[in-house]
Amino acid sequence: MKKMIVLDGNSIMFRAYYATAYTGNLMQARSGLYTNAIYGFVNMIQHILQTKDMTNIFVAFDKGKKTLRHQTYSDYKGGRKPTPEEFLMQIPYIKEYLDVLGIKHLELDDYEADDIVGSMAMLARNEFDEVMVISGDKDLLQLAKGNVHVYLTKKGLTDLECYTEENFKSLMGIESYQMTDYKGLIGDSSDNLPGVSGIGPKTAAKLLEEYGTLENIIANIPSLKGKVQASIINDQEQALRCKKLATLYLDVDLPYSVNDTLYVEPKKEVLREFYEKVEFKSFIKKLGDITEEKTVVKSEKLELEYYYNEVDSLISELKKTDKCLLDVEIPKENYHKEEILGISVVINNKGYFIDKSLLNNSGLISELKNKELYTIDVKKVYVSLKKLGVILSKFSFDLGLAAYIVNPSYSSVDAKSMYEKFIETTLPYLEEVYGKNAKYEVPSVDVYGKYSIDKVSYLETIKSEIDGILTSDQKKLLYEVEIPLAVVLGDMELNGFRISKNRLNEIGEFVLNEINRLEKEIYELCGFEFNISSPKQLGEVLFEKLAIAKGKKNKTGYVTNAETLEKLAEIHPVPMKVLEYRKYSKLYSTYVVGLLDMMFDDGKVHTIFKQSLTLTGRLSSVEPNIQNIPIRTEDGRLIRSAFIPSDDSLLISADYSQIELRILAHVSKCKNMIDAFNSGEDLHSSTAAKIYNVDISNVTKDQRRMAKAVNFGIVYGMSPWGLAEELKITTFEANDFINRYFSIYPEVKDYLDKTVNNTKTTGYTETIFGRRRYMPEINSSNGALRQFAERTAKNAPIQGAAADVIKIAMIAVDKKFKELNLSSKLIAQVHDELVVDTKISEVEIVKKILKEVMEGVVSLDVVLEASLSWGENWNMK
C-alpha cells in the first residue's frame, strides 16, 4: 500500500519540548544548547521512519508571524505566553535535522502549519492509498475524510490515536465534516476563540446531531429552548467567526509537489555529524557500524547483588577497598526536616542498603570514615549523617557539583537526569518510587533500598567520564573548591541563624498597622472599598471608576504591574499608596509569616544553601531565601534586625568592597582603575573626577552618583538606554557619558569587546579560575536574544570570579576557625558578605581572621578590601 505522511512540525516540536519542560529536566548539550525538543522530535521522526512503512514524508511549520486569520480577528491566539527562549534556540536544529534526512519542510507567510498540512494532504489524497496526518492539534481532525487519516498524539510522541471518517463519530460524538461547526460552538481557548457562552462538548454534539451545521442551528433559533437559545442568540456572530477561523485553507499554493516529498535514506556519516553536534549518544549507537568515540561511555548494565541490612558483610567488603559509592536515602528535599531511611553503599558490584537504626555500629562508621567517598550530593550526605552523630569528611566526588562544573545549566542534583546526560542508563523518577502529594507513601525496603543502591551504582563510571571532560582549572574548582565548600556549607546549615521571635512579632505588628493605614487611606481617596490585592478590581478602579488614564489590557484585565503604577503615581496619589501596600503585604507574608513558619525548635532557621542553582557560580539559598532580604533598604534592615546571635555572642559581618569592579580592573589590566584602587581612592569619585575633568576633592554628590551608575552599569553590560533610565537622562547623554568613560578606561572597553568576540567563537565565557558559562544564544539570529547574551557575556566572567573568590575565602576562614578550635561559627553567606556568630571572647581574633583571610586569599593586580561591622543583630550600621 502506497502511503504518505504529512507531519505538523509545530505541534510535534512543542509537545517534545513541554514533555520534559514541565518536570524541569531540560536536556542540554555541553555547548549550552537545550536539546529536549530536538531529542523528542528526532525520536518521533525515527519512530515514523522505522514503523510506518511510508514512501513520502513532508513537514509543515508556522512562520511565527501574523496570518490571514489575524486580519479577521486581531485577538486570534491572544493571551498565549511568550515562547521560552530555551525552546526557540532549538528550532533551527530541528529544521537542520530534517535537511540532513532530506525531508522537505515548509513555512509560509500568511498561513499556519495546519493550512500547509491540509493543502498537502489534499494534493496527496489522489496519489496515495493512505495519507497519514500526524499532529497533536485537534484542528486537523477536519481532514479525516476518505483516505486521509488523522493521527493525534496521546501519551508521549509515539502513542497515536487514528481518526478516520468511519470511526470519527464513535470517538468525537460528531461527524468529521462537523468539526469546524463544533469549534464554532465550543470555541478553542488555545487559539483565543470564545465560541458560544455556556455551550460545552456534549451540548454542541447534541445540537449538531439534530441540526447538522452551525448555520442550521442559527436558522432554527426559535425552536431552541432556555439558556441554549439565549446563548446562541447572543453569540451567533461570534460562533460564525470562530467557525471561519477554525476552518483550514486547503488551497494554499505550495512550492513543492507530492513527488518532491519522496524519502531517500541519508548517509549514516551525515547523521552521525548531526548527532555529535547535539550530543545524542543513544542515536549515534543506533547507527550501528559507526565506531564509538571517547565521548560515549560504554555503560553495560551492572550485574549488582543486593543486600539489605547486612552490616557485617558490608564491613567485610569495606576492609578490602579504599573507596566506595555512598548515598543517603531521603524521600523529600528538605533534609533538615526529614530523617533518612538509611544509606546505600556500592562496592565491587555489591549493593548494600543499611537502615538508619543500624548506623550506630562503630565498626561500620570507622570503615566509612577512612574511605574515599563518591556520592550524588555531598552536602546532603554530610548533614544528614552528622545529625545522627556520624561525621564523614573524605568526599572525593559529588555528581551534582561535577555536572555543574561541566556546565552550570546542569543545575539538578537529580541522579536520573545526570545519568541520562553522561551515560546510557536511566533511573526511575523519585515520584515513581514514593508517589506524589496525596499518593505519597514510603514503599517497602526492597523497593526504596534497591532504588537507593541503583542511584550510586554508576558513580565511578560517570566520574571517569566527567574527569575526561574537565580542564585542569575546572578540576581544581571541583575538587579544591566546590566539594570542600559543600562540607563548610553543611556545617553552616547545621549551625543555623537564630531569630528573635519577639522582634519578628513586633515587626509583624508594625507592618500590619502600615497595611491597615494604607488600606484606609486608599479607600478614602477612592471613596469606596474594594479588594486592593485583586489586580482585576484594582484595574477597574484606576482606569474606569477613577479614570486616571487609559489603561492597557491583557487576558485577565488591566495591567497593574509596578512599572504601570509608578508612572500613574506621577498624576494621582492612589497608585503610590498601592505600591506601598503591596510592599508591606509582601514583607508580612514572605518574611514575618514566612520566617516564623520556618523556625525550628532551636529558635533558628536552617536555610539550605544551593551550590549549583545559579548560572553565575553564586550561591543561593532556600527555606528561607536569605539572599533575597534587601541589604540597603529600610525594609531589609527591619527584617535583618530580627536575626540575632547565640547567647554571649555578637554577629560579625565581613563584606567585600566593590569586588566585581576590582576583578574588572584585574582582568582588563586597566591602569587608571588599578591605580585608583591601590592608592585607596574612592573609585566612583576618581571616575567622576576624570570624566568631568575636576579635582577629586571637588566632585559633587551628583557627579559621583552618575559615575557609580556607569561603573556598575558597565560591569553588567548596561546599554545607553538602560543607563538613561537609571539616571533619568536622555539616551544621547547616556551614550556620551559611556564614551567618555571608555576614553579614561580604554582597557575596559578592549576587554569587554574581546570577551564578547571570544564567546561568539567558543560558545562560553570563563572566569580567571576556569568556571565556564555556555551561551549559544550569542550567535542567535534573534537580535534581542543575541544582544542579551552579549551583555551577559560581559558580566559572567566578572560575577563568576567574584563568586569563586568568596567561596575560596569561606573554605580558608572555616579552616582557620577549626585550626584554632574557635567556638565562633560561619552561619551565612549573602552575595559578597560572610556572617559569623561570634563568641564575645573571640571577637578580636575573628575580626583579624576575616580581614586577613578575605583580603589575602587570592593574588590580584588590585588589593581586595573586606569591610567589617558587628552588632547584636544583623542590622549593623
Average per-residue pLDDT in the chain?
A: 89
SS (H, E, C) 70-119: HHHCCCCCCCCCCCCHHHHCCHHHHHHHHHHHCCEEECCCECCHHHHHHH
On the question of pLDDT at 226 being above 50, the answer is yes
Give me the pLDDT at residue 38, please. Answer: 93
| 3-state SS assignment for residue 135 | strand
Q: Sign of torsion, CA 820 824 827 833?
A: negative
Give me the pLDDT at residue 157, please. Answer: 66
pLDDT band for 297, please (50, 70, 90 cuts).
very low
User: Which residue type sits at 535?
Assistant: P
Least confidently predicted of 139-148, 235-244, 495-504, 581-590: 235-244
Give me the pLDDT at residue 290, please. Answer: 41
pLDDT band for 642, please (50, 70, 90 cuts).
very high
CB neighbour list of residue 410: distance below 8 Å, 6 or more residues apart: 28, 403, 404, 417, 418, 421, 612
Percent of residues, the chain, with pLDDT higher than 70? 95
Q: What is the pLDDT of residues 698-715, one digit of tens each?
A: 999 999 998 999 888 887
8-state DSSP, 754? H
On the question of pLDDT at 294 being above 60, the answer is no
pTM above 0.85, yes or no: no
How many CB atoms are closer than 10 A to CB 531? 10
Q: 869, exposed or middle or buried, with CB in 10 Å at 0-12, 13-18, 19+?
A: middle
DSSP states of 485-545 as a string?
HHHHHHHHHHH-EEE-HHHHHHHHHHHHHHHHHHHHHHHHHHTS---TT-HHHHHHIIIII
Q: What is the pLDDT of residues 865-877, one digit of tens each?
A: 999 999 999 998 6
Pairwise CA distance, residues 206 & 356, whole Å? 62
Give me the pLDDT at residue 453, please. Answer: 95
Q: What is the mean pLDDT of residues 803-812?
A: 98
Least confidently predicted of 129-143, 545-559, 833-847: 545-559
Q: What is the pLDDT of residues 357-378, one digit of tens each?
A: 999 999 999 999 999 999 999 9
pLDDT band for 292, please (50, 70, 90 cuts).
very low
Give me the pLDDT at residue 299, please. Answer: 47
Q: What is the mean pLDDT of residues 63-88?
A: 73
Only one residue has cell 545559579, namely 614
Q: Pairing state of beta strands 56-60 and 104-106?
A: parallel
Pairwise CA distance, residues 591 & 583, whole Å? 11
pLDDT band for 79, please (50, 70, 90 cuts).
low
